[in-house]
Structure formats: C-alpha cells, structure tokens
Structure 1
Amino acid sequence: MPRTLPSLLTALLLSAATAFAADGSTPQPQALGSPLPDFELPGIAPDGSVQTYTPADFASAKLLCIIFTCNHCPTAQRYEERIKQLTTDYAPQGVAVVAINPNNAEAVRLDEMAWTDVGDSFADMQIRHAHKEFNFPYLDDGETQAISRVFGPVATPHVFIYDQDRKLAFQGRIDDAELPQYIKHHDTRDALDALLAGHAPEVQTTRVFGCSVKWAEKAEGYNKLWAQRLKEEPVTLEHATAADFVALRENQDSGKIRVINVWATWCGPCVSEFPDLVDLNVTFRNRDFELVTIAAEYPKMEAKALKFLQQQHASMQNYIFGDTDKYANIEAIDPEWSGALPHTLVIDEKGEVIFRHTGPIDFIELRRLLLPALEAITPWGGLDGN
C-alpha cells in the first residue's frame, strides 16, 4: 500500500536533529511524555521479507516497544534471545516489539567487529535476521540516521516504550546485566507490565550499557585513521622450511587460534580475497588470534611477493617457501591438502585442525567458526563469566 510522507512537524524535527549532530554533539534521549516520532524505514519482517515500516503498521498495538540494537555489538548480541522472548511473551498481550539499527555501517571500526559474523549494513542485517531467526521486525536507520537522532539512543541496546496514546512512558535498559546469571531487575518487562495494568511504570528511565551509537560523522575520521595506521605498520616476509611449517601447523605454544592461508601472486582467487584477509587480521588480532600467510612461491619470487604484501598493508606474519621442494612443503603444511590454491587451515590453541578449505573463503562461515573458538579461550565478560 502507498506510504504517506512524514508530517511537516516530523520533517522539521529531523532537520533540526541533523543540524544539531553536525556540530559534533551527541543526540539525547527523548523526554518522557514526548510523542512517538514519525518514521518510514526499510526493514526485515519476521518472515524474512523486506518491507517499509511506519508507525501505522503498529497502530493496533496497545503498546509499542522500540529497541535500538545492532549486529556488531557483543552486548547487543547477548540480548537478541531476550528480545525474541520478549516478543513471544508480550505479543499476545498487544505489545508490538520493533528493533531499529541506528548505526552507520561505515562508522564501525574493524576492531569493533571482533565479536560478530557480520557488520551493520542493511544487507548484513538481513543475514543476521535469518541466521538468528528474529521474530520481530528489524528496521534500518543507518544510512541517514535521521530518525535515530530524534529518538536519541545512546547505546545498543536502548529501549523506548510508547503507551496507548503513543507518548514515551519508559526509556532505558532491558535489564541490569548482559550475563543472565547476574540479572536483578527486569526493567523493560516491569514497565510493560505496569502499562498493561493501566498505570505508570515505577521506574521510567534508567542508564543503558552497551556499544555507543556509531554516528556517520565518525566514519570519515575512522577511515583516515585506519588507512594511516596500516600504512605505518611494517610488512615482512620470511623464508620458511618444511620443519617450520610443521611447527606452525602443530601450534603448540601460541595459546591462540591460528589461521594459516597459503596463496601465490599468480593465483587469481588468492589475490582477490587477500584484502579480506587483511581485514580479518585487523579485526581479530586484539583477541587470542593469529593470522599467518604462506606464499607458495619459489624463493626467487620473494621480491614480487613482498611488494604485493606491502601494497596490501599485510602486517600479519608472512612466510614464503624457503626452498624449491614444494611437495615437501605441502605435506608439512597439511598432509590432507591436495596442493591447489588458495588453501586455508584454522588450528585451535591445542593444535587441532578445526577447519580446512581449498578455494576461496566464505568469510561469514569463517567468522562463525572463529567466534566460538575464541570464546572458548577467553569468554566474553571475563573468565567463566566472572
């Protein structure tokens, strides 16, 4: 059905919010009692279809619970199942639960992606929605962030509950602990229960904890910063023998998840995916992670291989075959490898090969393998959740 344009009042509010943010200020949460802002946003429906949503789509709901959340934030991820359960528990009581991603995808730093399989773009939201089987609409405001600047979320997740008259009755946290064993206060549930019973919540506003909203104005500075940092990082290439490769594969002393990628300058798929390997290294290197590349080239190709690595700003550990016996090196790297390129191994901290693949990498699949392996070494929230 055709959609109406936002009201003149809302358009003016959006314009003011955008101008306000342009001076570097951080938008503040709406005041209690404020009316629900008008919006028209693309989103993923519970059935996975892509739709455009406005407040009219939730007009029949007794209460509207809008939760600003995202893909990349580990705190937000800890709440995904709780948001699904909230939707299941309160939909029969007339509560519409809606999630909105406020983040500009370009403003998310690579090292902020160390806890996620995907970023915060709309395409990534679709992947996350399907993978986690969200039962609520998931809307995207990351491209313009105009609506988010009116609501004023400060972190993900951040809840805004609107009453029957669509006035803001609660804003704050879902509960008081990302790790379920520490929860003492179920603030969002308490607020919903009170409003459904016909009275104001006892607690109407709380602090929120999580990743800060990634406003678009951060993106340019971030991209320049990382480009400069990568240019300044040294890129090296060392010769290695079959014995060295055996030690790399056995991974006895690093205490890290080790990814080994074997490539060559003449291998088209290797060259095509190499920028993603560099991003993978930057993303995970502050965790218990190590990326090693091996150029399957004769030693005389060192200069060419090093030049390529320098062009890629490949500041991970890089090796090249130190002798001409390629088959001995292939056997040493992975006895189960046919020799075709590219070839990738993932080895856990105990020396066990937990992934091997010949051919181009599915980086989402690789991330989904790495995340639980890294979590097993150092759990999020501290050792054993403490």
Structure 2
Amino acid sequence: MHIIFFFLIMLLSWSSLNAAEVRPLAIDSKAPDFKLPATDGEIYSLASFKSADVLVIIFTANHCPTAQAYEDKIMKMVDDYAQRGVAFVAISSNHPDAVRLDELGYSDLGDSFAEMKIRAADKKFNFPYLYDGDEQEIALRYGPTATPHVFIFDKERRLRYQGRIDDTENPYIAPTSSDAINAIEALLAGVPAPVETTKVFGCSMKWRDKVEWAKKADADWAALPVSVEMIDSSGVAQLVKNESKNVRLINVWATWCGPCVVEFPELVKINRMYRGRNFEFITISADKPTQAEQVLKFLTGKEAANKNYHFDSTDVYALIDAVDAEWAGALPYTIIVAPGGKVIYRHMGLIDPLQVKRAIVGQLGRYYADNE
C-alpha cells in the first residue's frame, strides 16, 4: 500500500514538475514521434509525413486569440507550400479542464477534442489537427511555451527552426519578419534557416496542473453575491436601447418555464466567458411581482452574479412590447443588443449556446487587435 502511494505521489510530482520546467526542443534534435487522433478521424504519426521534405508542426489552441489570429495565415502557408514538399500538422495539447471560462472570452469554443472538430469544420482546415490534451505527452517532448509555437524539421527530421510564425499577432497588418516562412524557404533551398530560434508570444499552455486553478475560479464565481431589482416597462425599454459601450445579452425567463430552467446554466457560463470584455448579461424575470422570493432563490441557486431584474407588473404584454416588437411572447426569449440598440440576435425558446457565443464573439471580435 505504501509503495502504491509513493508511486502516485511521484507521478503527480513528475507531471507538475515537467509542466513547470518544460523547455522547447533543442535545434538539431530529432523529431519525437507521436501517435495522435485528428479531427478528420485519422490517427497520425511522423510516418504519416515521411514523403515531405520539410515538416512543420504547430502547437495551437481553439480558444487562444493569438492562435486564432494565425489560423488563416497557416492555411495560406499550406496552400503555398503543400505542392513544394512541405507538410503541415497542428497539435492542440491544452488540457480542456485547465482552461478557465474567462479564458474563453475571445472564442466560441473551448479546447476539447469535440470542439476542435467543430473549429476544423467551420474553418475548413487544410491540415491535420491533432489532439494531445489528455496526457500532454507530445507537448512535454516538444516543449511549446505558448500557442501558437512552430517547430520546423528538415528531411531527416532534424529541428531547424522553432519559434513564432511571424512578428505580429495582428491579422490586419503585414508582418515585417516572416520567420517561419523564411525558415521553410531556406530548407527548401538546402541552406540553414536565417534565424533558428525566436521568442514566442501567445497564450500560455494549459497543463494538467492548472485544472485546480480553473476549479478555484468556478468556486470564486459561485461565491459572488446575487441580487435582483424590480424594473418597469420603461426601464426595460431603456435596457434594450443600450446606450452603454457593452454588448448586452438579455434573457427573459420565469421560474415556472421549463426551457428557461434548462438553458439558464449555459447562460451563466456564457457570462463567465465574456464578462471580462465589453459585455453584460441581463436577466428579466416574468414571474408575478409577488414571487420575488422564489425568483431570488432560483437565481442564487444558479449562481447568477450578473444584473438581474424582476418585472414589476402582471401586464406581460407591456413587457413583450418593451423587450422586442418582433417577440411573439413565448418564454424563454433571448436577444443580443449591440451598443446603440441594434438587435444582432433574437431567439424564442431554448437557445443553442454555440450560436449565442458566435453572435457575441462576432460583435466583440476574436483577436486582441479587435480591442484597438
């Protein structure tokens, strides 16, 4: 029993130690082999790319704004070099449970394998997209420090370049130094890469030892106070007018509405994702004004530490008219209002959380450059 306990402690220590002390593969090192599942249903290894003169391995992630900013650039590189003997493969090594919800604020998707499949299909990736997030064994061998991080190997699979793709994460401007492309061109010409190593700017790797950190964030959010204010129809109309700088997600619900209860936890998650940006989640309860206690009890149980209102009248038609002239009246009802009052999303009934996230990110932007 003591021996088993000892080895468990050693295993946990090894995982944490390697995550903290990971270093990028050294130049001239042989490419570590891998055998990983891809979003296209295939299993890939180094042998899958044996015919390529140059192999480009990119560690990336769905959620990372920097990684997202490079997705189109990577696809362009594949288009430009696939016929010249260069193979590309992307690997996501983030542990999906180690990503805090507020780290998803620039994305509609997390880093799970299922969500990788969605991203690959949405973007029509022209390269294999591999998953290493459960064990992270391949990431520990290659040593990416951020996403994206590029490793470029020659025909003998010796590492000839590791670092950034180029010197700007802003997809709206041209880079001044295209380091990965320069390395590829040099290897195709049979000469050393002009620069073998660069620093890498991007999102930190989400190692398994960050899972507890993510759980703590959930606990901190759960401990936030929940409150409710009464609101009249003119107040509701003012909310929808949205004279703020924030994108507003407004959900009209009731404690007696089954679909409202079912979808509410997803709305709370969405709020935790985007609350760090110019975003607000606002709920309006259509329960009778006399049911204030039940409303607060429900919201507290759902950890709804956002702006909550309770309509102060039994005139539900006044509520309907104040929220949206296009609303037929059934609950739940959800709208997304851009600054200035334009409704960019409206839905009656159960939401599709992914569609809601896409509407929000479409307005807020996926890249850090969208904040400028």
* Range of TM-score over shorter length: over 0.9
Query: What is the match of residue 215 of structure 1?
Result: 207
1:17/1:150 contact within 8 Å kept:
no
- Give the one of 202, 213, 233 matched to 1:242: 233
Query: What is the match of residue 314 of structure 1?
Result: 304
1:242/1:329 contact within 8 Å kept:
yes
- Give the one of 361, 376, 380 matched to 2:368: 380
Are residue 185 (structure 1) and residue 173 (structure 2) matched?
Answer: no
Give me the whole-angstrom Cα distance separating, in 2, the residues matched to 1:289 and 1:370. Answer: 9
TM-score scaled by length of structure 1:
0.90
Q: SS where residue 79 of structure 1 aligns?
A: helix
Q: What are the Cα deviations for residues 322-350 of structure 1, in whole angstroms up to 9, with x where unaligned?
A: 12212211221222211111100111101
Give me the whole-angstrom Cα distance separating, in 2, the residues matched to 1:276 and 1:51. Answer: 32
The higher-RCO structure (CA 8 Å, 6+ apart) is 2
Query: What is the match of residue 337 of structure 2?
Result: 347
Are residue 27 (structure 1) and residue 22 (structure 2) matched?
Answer: yes
Are residue 303 (structure 1) and residue 293 (structure 2) matched?
Answer: yes
Q: SS where residue 315 of structure 1 aligns?
A: coil
User: Which residue identity lines up with residue 272 of structure 1 in the other structure?
Assistant: V
The worse-fitting range, judged by mean Cα deviation, of 254-263 and 23-32 is: 23-32
Report 1:13-24 matches (<5 A). 20-23=14-17
What is the CA-CA distance between 1:190 and the residue it aligns to? Answer: 0.7
Q: SS where residue 287 of structure 2 aligns?
A: coil
Are residue 202 (structure 1) and residue 194 (structure 2) matched?
Answer: yes
- Give the one of 19, 27, 37 matched to 1:42: 37
Are residue 336 (structure 1) and residue 330 (structure 2) matched?
Answer: no
1:263/1:341 contact within 8 Å kept:
yes
Query: What is the match of residue 264 of structure 1?
Result: 254
1:21/1:27 contact within 8 Å kept:
no
Q: What are the Cα deviations for residues 246-300 of structure 1, in whole angstroms up to 9, with x where unaligned?
A: 1111112x22111110111121211111111111111111111111001110011
What is the CA-CA distance between 1:21 and the residue it aligns to? Answer: 3.5
Give me the whole-angstrom Cα distance separating, in 2, the residues matched to 1:147 and 1:291. Answer: 39
Q: What are the Cα deviations for residues 151-208 of structure 1, in whole angstroms up to 9, with x where unaligned?
A: 0000000000111111111111111111242511111111111111112112111101
What is the CA-CA distance between 1:221 and the residue it aligns to? Answer: 2.5
Give me the whole-angstrom Cα distance separating, in 2, the residues matched to 1:117 and 1:264. Answer: 27
Give me the whole-angstrom Cα distance separating, in 2, the residues matched to 1:243 and 1:190. Answer: 61
What is the CA-CA distance between 1:374 and the residue it aligns to? Answer: 1.7
TM-score scaled by length of structure 2:
0.93
Number of residue pairs aligned between Structure 1 and Structure 2: 361
Q: Kindly tell me: are residues 227 and 112 of structure 1, through their superposed partners in 2, closer, same or farther at Cα, counting changes over 3 Å?
A: closer
What is the CA-CA distance between 1:26 and the residue it aligns to? Answer: 3.1
Query: What is the match of residue 12 of structure 1?
Result: none
Query: What is the match of residue 119 of structure 1?
Result: 110
Give me the whole-angstrom Cα distance separating, in 2, the residues matched to 1:193 and 1:56. Answer: 23
2:98/2:208 contact within 8 Å kept:
yes
Give me the whole-angstrom Cα distance separating, in 2, the residues matched to 1:18 and 1:313. Answer: 32
2:66/2:368 contact within 8 Å kept:
no
2:255/2:295 contact within 8 Å kept:
yes
Are residue 110 (structure 1) and residue 104 (structure 2) matched?
Answer: no
Give me the whole-angstrom Cα distance separating, in 2, the residues matched to 1:18 and 1:229. Answer: 25
What is the CA-CA distance between 1:31 and the residue it aligns to? Answer: 0.8
Structure 1 segments of 4 or more deviating over 3 A?
16-21
The worse-fitting range, judged by mean Cα deviation, of 128-137 and 354-363 is: 354-363
Q: What are the Cα deviations for residues 208-228 of structure 1, in whole angstroms up to 9, with x where unaligned?
A: 1100110011012221x2233
Q: What are the Cα deviations for residues 107-151 of structure 1, in whole angstroms up to 9, with x where unaligned?
A: 111111110011110000000001111100000001110111000
What is the CA-CA distance between 1:18 and the residue it aligns to? Answer: 8.4
What is the CA-CA distance between 1:382 and the residue it aligns to? Answer: 6.3
Query: What is the match of residue 13 of structure 1?
Result: none
Q: SS where residue 286 of structure 1 aligns?
A: coil
Give me the whole-angstrom Cα distance separating, in 2, the residues matched to 1:231 and 1:371. Answer: 24
Q: SS where residue 292 of structure 1 aligns?
A: strand
Query: What is the match of residue 165 of structure 1?
Result: 156
Unmatched 5+ stretches in structure 1 = 1-15
1:145/1:215 contact within 8 Å kept:
yes
Query: What is the match of residue 6 of structure 2?
Result: none
Give me the whole-angstrom Cα distance separating, in 2, the residues matched to 1:43 and 1:375. Answer: 27
Give me the whole-angstrom Cα distance separating, in 2, the residues matched to 1:98 and 1:227. Answer: 34
2:179/2:195 contact within 8 Å kept:
yes
Give me the whole-angstrom Cα distance separating, in 1, the residues matched to 2:140 and 2:86. Answer: 24
- Give the one of 125, 133, 144 matched to 2:135: 144
Q: SS where residue 25 of structure 1 aligns?
A: helix
What is the CA-CA distance between 1:19 and the residue it aligns to? Answer: 6.1
Q: SS where residue 346 of structure 2 aligns?
A: strand
Are residue 70 (structure 1) and residue 61 (structure 2) matched?
Answer: yes
Give me the whole-angstrom Cα distance separating, in 1, the residues matched to 2:109 and 2:233. Answer: 36
User: Which residue identity lines up with residue 333 of structure 1 in the other structure?
Assistant: V
Unmatched 5+ stretches in structure 2 = 1-9
1:38/1:54 contact within 8 Å kept:
yes
Q: SS where residue 41 of structure 1 aligns?
A: strand
